[in-house]
Structure 1
Amino acid sequence: MFTKVTYPDTREESYALLLRQLKELVEGELNRITNLANAAALLRQFLDDINWVGFYLLEDGELVLGPFQGLPACVRIPVGKGVCGTAVSLEETVVVDDVHQFPGHIACDSASNSEIVVPLLSGGQIIGVLDIDSPRFGRFDSTDRHYLTAFCDVLGTYL
């Protein structure tokens, strides 16, 4: 007998499923790189209209490229520079509808037109950021902000 596969009806239900999948992937795994790599792959599979997803990790006062899915990327970003560095210095999620209008934007992929960067915390301290780029202008909204922040909250408890 076949079981009917049901798919979430709303973006909120889809994001709730994503959060459950993340927890199943990282629960019990102690290796930080493994968890970040699986988290990047999960987001790449889940999100539509993105061309890059990955993590930058805070080391010695700068962000250093971590696990990602997409084209090769900038290796080091100073805190306070670009969207990623700005998210760290502000200690908050930054959503940019048009990266070409963002002062000091660091262009790693010329196909990127919008971006969301979410601080990644562990033990109450920023340890890096989740960075997601899209070729579509205005790709990220308040729903993405809310659930990607929750995604980083879950992930941060396992790092």
Structure 2
Amino acid sequence: MSFQELKSKTREILTNSVSSKDEKLLAICQLLNTNIVHYNWVGFYFANHQTQTLHLGAYVGAETDHTVIPFGKGICGQVAVSNANFVVPDVSAQDNYIACSITVKSEIVVPIFAEGINIGQIDIDSHTINAFTIEDEQFIEYVCKEISHLF
């Protein structure tokens, strides 16, 4: 399925008036994981600004022990502080990487903003080195912008 088709499916999921916010987020994870071969783990982390931690929300893929991540720790924690996308072509080259699985080779994390505040992020892992293109990054930015309307 093309990114354009996935954008349309994303809009369908997010405008479904019957589903809860959590059901919509899980459906987005399933949509991306199922339709993009190099997306092997797709999940959301949401910020608690008081405790300076990220908390795992909906996800699809292998179970993770990383349900709470301090701001600044790992790729996700760095995005919570920088407010910028982080594309990691090879996780083994990162000093501040939290290893979730030996099968993860590359990662992309894109923040979600609501009313100008970084409220969380989508985190996608791949079992392929250098898996994420500029097209992936632009598509995930689109998904995050659409998701921001839920908050």
Asked if the contact 2:91/2:97 (under 8 Å) is kept, the reply is yes
Q: In the alignment, residue 39 of structure 1 is paired with which amino acid? A: I
Q: Deviations over 1:17-46 (max 9, x none)?
A: 111111111114473212211111111112
Matched, 1:155 2:147: yes
In 1, Cα distance between equivalents of 2:39 and 2:140: 14
Amino acid corresponding to residue 53 of structure 2 in structure 1: E
Contact in 2 for aligned 1:54/1:132 (Cα 8 Å)? yes
What amino acid sits opposite 1:123 in the alignment? E
**CA RMSD, Structure 1 to Structure 2 (Å):** 1.4
Paired position in structure 1 for 2:7:
19
1:35 to 9, 24, 48: 24
Q: Percent identity?
A: 31
Aligned residues: 147
- With normalisation by structure 2, the TM-score equals 0.91
Which residue of 1 is the match for residue 121 of structure 2?
129
The offset of 1:137, in angstroms, is: 0.3
Contact 2:32 2:39 (8 Å CA) reproduced = no
Report the secondary structure of 1:157's partner residue: helix
Mapped partners of 1:151, 1:103: distance in 2:
28
Q: Which residue of 2 aligns with 1:105?
A: 97
TM score, norm. by length of structure 1: 0.87
Structure 2: 5+ residue stretches without partners: none
